[in-house]
Chains A and B, each alone.
Chain A
Amino acid sequence: MASRARPLSLVAPALAALLLALVLAPLLAVGWRGAGISLGPAEWAAVRFSVLQAVFSAVLSTFLAIPVARALARRNFPGRGVLITLMGAPFLLPAVVAVLGLLAVFGRSGVLNAGLVALGLPPISIYGLHGVVIAHVFLNLPLATRMILQSWLSIPAERIRLAQSLGFGPRETFRHLEWPMLREVLPGVALVILVICLTSFAVVLTLGGGPSATTIELAIYQAVRFEFDLSRAAGLAGVQLAIGSIAALAAWLMTSPAGFGAGLGRDLELSAPGGWRKAGDIGALVGVALFLALPLGAVLLRGLPGLGEIPASVLPAAGRSVLVALTSTILATVAALTLALASARRTHLLAEAAATLPLATSGLVLGTGLFLLIQPFAPPMSLALPVTVLVNVALSLPYLYRILLPEARALHADYGRLADSLALRGWPRLRWLVLPRLARPLGFGTGIAAALSMGDLGVIALFAGEHQATLPLVVSQLTGAYRTEAAAAAALILVTLSFALFWAFDAGGRRAAA
C-alpha cells in the first residue's frame, strides 16, 4: 500500500469511534446509574418472564417452521414463489400492526371467540404469556421458515441423487440428509429469534403487562414513564444488556450471514412422497397461510372503512414517522457503507466493533441511557425525535453492515487495484465505482432499514410527548384505547408506508444496478 495517508482512511476510524461512542455513552450512563441497584421481586419476575417468553417463542417458531420449510422444499405448486416471497414480509411488518391483526382474530371480540361462544364454549383471552408467544410466532415463523428452507435447498443435489439411487424412502432421507442439516441450522435459527424476542417491546406493551407478564423492556418503560424511577430503569437496562449481549454473541457465533434475498427457487430435487405425508405438507402450508393471512386480512377489513374518518393525530404522526425513517436510514446507510468499505480493504476491528455492538442492546436500553444523559441539560421530551433517529441508526447499522460487507469485499477484490492504479479516489470512486456496483445491496439494505425504522415502536414510547408521537405509537395508543377501527385504519397507513419505503429503495437499487 502506498505510504501516504488517504483522506478516506481517516474518515472510517473516526466514524467508527463516533458510532461506538454513540452506543457506549448511553450504556455507560446506564451502568453508572444502575450500579448497585438491587432488583426486587418484581424486577426478577420481569427477568424470568423475558427469558421464558423468548425461549418459548424461539422454540415454537423454529419447530413449527420445520414442516412448513419441508413442504416448501419438496412440493411444487402454483403460488409457491409468491408464498415464499410473502414469507419475507412479516420481517418488515410493524409489530403494532401484527398485534392489531391478532387481536382481531384471537381477541375478546375476535373471530375465534365469536365462534367459541356460538358453540357454547368459554372464550379465551389473548393477553398474557400465550398471547405474547402467539404474536412472536406470527412475526418470526416466516423468518425461521425462510432460514430453514434456505439450508434445505442447499443440500447438494449430488447427495440427493445418491440417496435416490440407493432407494431411500422419506424416513431414510430424513435420517441421513435432512436431520444432519437441521441439527446444524436449528440452533442458529432459534438463537436469532430469541434475540429478537428478548428485545421485543411493541408486542408486550399491548399483549403483556401486569405482574405476571411484564418483560424487562416493558418494566423499563414503566419505570421511566409512570414511576419516573430512573435508577430502577437503569438497573433493569443493565440486566437487559447483560442477557442481550450473551444471546447476541451466541447468535453471532452460531449463524453465518443470512441471505435475506437469496434465490430460493431452484429446481426441486427432493422427491415428493404421497399418502399421509402429502396431506401433512398440505396441512402445514394451508395452516401457515391462514395463520399469516387471517390477521392481516382482518386489519384490512376493519381498517378500510375507518380510512374516511381517521383521527387528526394520524397524519402528522405519519409525516413524523416518514421523516424519522428517512433521516435515520440515510445516516445509517452512510455509516454502514463507510464501515463496510473500510473493512473490505483490510480487517478493521474498530469498524467491526462499531457495527456489531448495537446487536447487544435494545431500543429501550439505549433510550434509557440517552434519557439519563440528556436529562441534566434539557427536558428529554423536547428531543424525542432526534433521539429516535439516533437509536434507529444504531439498531439498523448491524443489518446494513452485514448486507453490504460481502459485496464490498467482492468489489475490492475484483476492482480495487484497477481503481487504485487509475487514481480513482474520493467522490469519483464513489460515483463511478462503488455506488453503481453496490446499488443492488444498497437499495435492499436501505429498504429494510427504512421499513424497520418506519414501523419501530421502542424508544419513542419513552420520550414522546403529545406532539412527537410517531405513527406506530399512535396505532398502539388507539389499540390500547380499544378504538379498533381507527387503530386499524392508522395501521393500514403504517403498513402501506413501510412497504412503500422498502419497495422504493429496493426497486431504486435494482434499477440503478441494471
Chain B
Amino acid sequence: MLQLDRLTLTQGTFRLTADWSAVAGSRIAVMGPSGAGKSTLLSAIAGFLTPTTGRILWQGQDLARLTAGERPVTILFQDQNLFPHLTVAQNLGLGVRPDLRLSAADKSGVETALDRVGLAGLGQRRPAQLSGGQASRAALARALLRARPILLLDEPFAALGPALRTEMLELVRRVADETEALVLMVTHDPQDALALGGSLAFVAEGVVQAPTETQALFSDPPPDIQAYLGRK
C-alpha cells in the first residue's frame, strides 16, 4: 500500500498537501489544471523532492531514507527518458544493472522486454534513430524490465498523437498487469484517465484529493472538476 501521510510539499511559495492511501496495483490518473502540482507529487514519490512535513510510505516503510534509485519506483518523464549516446539495449540494461555488467540472463531479459513492447531487433539502435512512439515503447520496456511496484508516468506521451497515445496507454496497462504495479499517471485528457481505468486523483488549490473511481466521478462530477472539464 502507498500511503501519503499528512504530506506537505513546498517549492518556493507553492504548497501542496496530500493525505490518502492506495492499495498495491491501483491505477490512478492524476489530473488538474496546469501548475496545480501534479508533477510535484510525482517528484516527491520518486525521491527528487524532500517532503516539508509528513511521510510517504510503501508497504509501511518510510521512503525518506531511500535515494531515488533505491525506491521501489520507475518514473517516466515528459522527455529525456533515454540516454541519447547509448543504444536502446544499453538504455534498458541500465535499468537492471547501472554498471551495465549484464549476465547472459540479463541480456536475454532485455531482448524479451524489447520483444514485448514491439521493438524486437531494434536493441542496437540509438534513441535518435527511433520514432517518438518507439522511444516511448523503449522507456516502457525498461519499466517492464525493472518491474518496480510503483510506476509513475509524468505525461510521457504528451507529444504523441491521439492514436499513438491510445496504443501507449494499452501498453501501460499491459506492463502494469504484468508487473502488478501501482500506476500514477499525470494527464490532461479525461479520455486517457478513463482508458487507464481505476480511479482519479484531482489536484487543485494546493490539495491532491483522494482518488475516486473515475467512471463514477465523471458521471457525477463535483463543481471543481466540472469547472476543469469545462462542462456546464
Contact = CB atoms under 8 A, between A and B. Distances in A.
A421 B65 contact: no
Contacts of B69: 420-425
Given A414-B80, A418-B81, A421-B69, A428 B100 contact: yes
Contacts of A6: 67
Contacts of A427: 99
Interface stretch (A114-122, A334-342, A431-439): A431-439
Contact of B47 (A2, A415, A424): A2
- The number of chain B residues touching the other chain, given as a range, is 20 to 34
Contacts of B75: 417, 421
A420 B85 contact: no
Contacts of B99: 427-428, 431
A1 interface: yes
Given A417-B77, A425-B69, A433-B83, A1 B50 contact: yes
A425 B80 CA distance: 18
A292 to B, nearest CB: 38
A428 B97 CA distance: 10
A427 B98 CA distance: 10
Contacts of A2: 47, 50, 66-68, 70
B67 A423 contact: yes
Scoring A415, A421, A423, A424 by chain B CB atoms within 10 A of each residue's CB, the highest score goes to: A421
B80 A418 contact: yes
Contact of B46 (A3, A421, A513): A421
Scoring A1, A2, A3, A420 by chain B CB atoms within 10 A of each residue's CB, the highest score goes to: A2
A4 interface: yes
A423 B68 contact: yes
B83 A4 contact: no
B48 interface: yes
B154 to A, nearest CB: 10
B47 A421 contact: yes
Contact of A421 (B50, B68, B90, B100): B68
B24 interface: no
Given A2-B47, A3-B50, A421-B46, A437 B67 contact: no
A420 B86 contact: no
A420 B47 contact: yes
B95 interface: yes
A407 to B, nearest CB: 13
A282 B85 CA distance: 45
A271 B90 CA distance: 51
B130 interface: no
Given A2-B47, A3-B64, A425-B69, A418 B98 contact: no
Nearest to A2: B67
A421 B146 CA distance: 11
B47 A418 contact: no
A195 to B, nearest CB: 37
Contacts of A1: 48, 50
B77 A437 contact: no
B74 interface: yes
B68 A417 contact: yes
Interface in A1-58: 1-4, 6
A4 B65 contact: yes
B193 interface: no
Contacts of B94: 422, 424, 432
Interface in B48-100: 48, 50, 64-70, 73-75, 77, 80-81, 83, 85-86, 90, 94-95, 98-100
A418 B83 contact: yes
Given A422-B95, A428-B100, A432-B100, A3 B65 contact: yes
A427 B80 CA distance: 22
Contacts of A431: 99
Nearest to B146: A422
Interface in B85-123: 85-86, 90, 94-95, 98-100
Contacts of B66: 2
Contacts of B50: 1-3
A147 to B, nearest CB: 32
Contacts of A424: 69, 94, 98
Contacts of B81: 418
Contacts of A437: 83, 85
A429 B73 CA distance: 19
Interface string A64-108: 000000000000000000000000000000000000000000000
A392 B67 CA distance: 38
B85 to A, nearest CB: 5
Nearest to A427: B99
A420 B67 contact: yes
A418 B156 CA distance: 13
Contact of A420 (B48, B65, B95): B48
Nearest to B68: A420
Interface in A390-423: 414-415, 417-418, 420-423
Nearest to B43: A417
Contacts of A415: 80, 83
A424 B94 CA distance: 8
13 contacts: A415-B80, A415-B83, A418-B80, A418-B83, A420-B47, A420-B67, A420-B68, A421-B74, A422-B94, A423-B70, A433-B83, A436-B85, A436-B86
Given A418-B81, A428-B100, 20 more contacts: A1-B48, A2-B66, A3-B50, A414-B80, A417-B68, A418-B80, A420-B47, A420-B67, A421-B73, A422-B94, A423-B67, A423-B69, A423-B98, A425-B98, A427-B99, A428-B99, A432-B83, A432-B94, A433-B83, A436-B85
Q: Which 6 A-B pairs have the closest CB atoms?
A: A423-B69, A2-B67, A428-B99, A420-B68, A436-B85, A424-B98
